[in-house]
Structure 1
């Protein structure tokens, strides 16, 4: 058995992303992944989407159906716990269901664990947009000191041609780690329903003395919109709520106050820019989220 055959893969499924899940599973299998290595948690989808999964997912892929939508962190933890009890699994890969992996992806991704010292905690690949396979979606991160957080590096000029790069945090879109890491740092924080659970987990991993690497020799494609994608009220609301939670959990009271003030300023600035770009409806969403946040 090759080392990459010991990777257990956790996918979450919800409603109309079901077709993405099917395509992701098929790509994993074509890349050389065994069906038994894949665990799908359906987060309380409508019956018609569950039926699609049951009908089209290959028979040896493990599926579990959550009676409620428990969010990203808790859903991932359910998958992690499943693989913790499997003796033939040594690594766990959290992978978004709206991704496409190339052939030999697992073999390429796992190499830092095989060639570097045990301080390697998490490895993530270079991630491109699926709509533009030359445009980087995730290539490490940039730290924003004014709000105490990070943005994805999308500048190809800042990414080496090959090899591994240390990075402060990674993305829950695709992260590989040893099972033993969970024993040392714990699970993803289930207080986060969606967004920032990956950043929070990354900081826990680094505080425990482990490295987080971007493996440029491995890549995937992510089905997300480009910068022209419209602002969504639900996503904006979850993102801002999770950001506030992240700041509260990871910084002192003075820094929390400073970062929150700066975040409000940044959101207001973003709302004004949308108005100037004649995207008034989307700017209303930004200001509505801010107003609701202040009132709570």
Structure 2
């Protein structure tokens, strides 16, 4: 039997996106995997897991937009889908033993503590399962080509002896399926605490179908790692709430002797920003919450790993960030961003 893979989706509000992703995942041609959905709760509650359970049982039908990618999620897979349900407390108390036969694991988080914490609940569950070998962390607003998981496993199996840590794939925009969001991930400028996604906005004509390019992190929308990597490096860093979790994992992995990898044969399509708002193809669409946490996380990451002169230049870069908000007439964001400089641990709701 091929290595067992757990696929993690973190749901927040947009349960229809999660179901569309699940429909595509259950068309994968890889024979040995289970899907875990962790629900980060909302206030007020929107009953996301209720809807996902109803879909799995076959009592809820969900229609998706008809577009060039409809073949990835349609026709709908046969229901019911067997599932197990656990709470965060079950995971933490080591009471969540998978039966190995359920296709879907549903986990309810107690509260929304961000991207890393939500995924870490699922990673904790994975580490408690004897059959766990690999994990594929996907954004819930993605759909995948059916051979993508097989490509990831095959690449990792061939290269794991070289110290491969985090493996990425090719991420295209859902709304523009011939256009790259990125190949693997991004380069990172530590002096400005700024990442630049590889190939972002370019038509995909195969220009990144090899690994002869430099990248410093693998995008969190499509991240594939092994049990061995997690045992040596640990879970995702929970310092950030949103953004920079990828940089943190990559940096910690590098310091443990791991390197990054990329296979162009694993292709996913990402809606980007459907949960928190905004995307790189429309900069002015980035909402205040995303703006706040990106700026906050760059300060936290730099303090954690670089400090010194790097931290000074990152602070100076806020001058240009603030001038940009003036140019965009986003005057109400200036006090919010200034507060980060004095207290980067501040949360968005406190600003």
Give the aligned CA root-mean-square deviation in angstroms. Answer: 2.3
1:208-223 paired onto structure 2 within 5 Å: 208-223=256-271
The correspondence for 1:293, drawn from 340, 343, 348, is 340
Tell whether 2:243 aligns with 1:195: yes
Larger deviation, residues 226-235 vs 65-74: 226-235
CA distance in 2, matches of 1:227, 1:85: 40
Cα deviation for residue 27 of structure 1 reads: 0.4
Residue 41 of structure 2: which of 40, 44, 67 is its match?
Answer: 44
Q: Of 198, 204, 217, which aligns to 1:153?
A: 198
What SS does structure 1 have at the residue aligned with 2:316? helix
Task: Pick one of 320, 338, 344 that aligns with 1:266.
Answer: 320
- Alpha-carbon shift at residue 235 of structure 1 (Å): 1.1
SS at match of 1:30: coil
Counterpart for residue 181 of structure 1 = 229
Render the CA deviation track for 1:114-169: whole Å, top value 9, x for unaligned: 22234111111010010001111122323335414422122559974524456321
Pick the aligned partner of 2:15 from 15, 18, 21: 18
Question: Contact conserved, 1:236 with 1:289, CA < 8 A, in 2?
Answer: no
Match of 1:59 in 2: 82
Structure that is richer in helix per residue: 1
- Cα shift readout 1:33-64 (whole Å, capped 9, x = no counterpart): 56961111111142432321221133331001
Among candidates 116, 138, 149, match of residue 182 of structure 2: 138
Alpha-carbon distance between aligned partners in 2 of 1:190 and 1:128, rounded to the nearest angstrom: 27
Q: Which runs of 5+ in 1 are unaligned?
A: 275-279
Q: Deviations over 1:162-198 (max 9, x none)?
A: 2445632111111101111111111111122111111
8 Å CA contact 2:29, 2:147 repeated in 1: yes
Quick check: 105-114 or 152-161, which moved more? 152-161
Q: TM-score, normalised by structure 2?
A: 0.75
- Unaligned 5+ segments in structure 2 are 57-80, 84-103, 273-278, 344-351
Alignment correspondent of 2:157: 114
Q: Secondary structure at the match of 1:151?
A: strand
TM-score for the superposition, normalised by structure 1: 0.88
Identify the match of residue 169 of structure 2 among 89, 114, 125. Answer: 125
**Structure 1 residues 189, 161: closer, same or farther in 2, change over 3 A?**
closer
Q: Where does residue 277 of structure 1 map in the other structure?
A: none
- Partner residue of 2:288? 233
Q: Count the aligned residue pairs.
A: 285
| Structure 1 consecutive aligned stretches of length 4 or more whose deviation exceeds 3 Å | 32-36, 155-161, 163-166
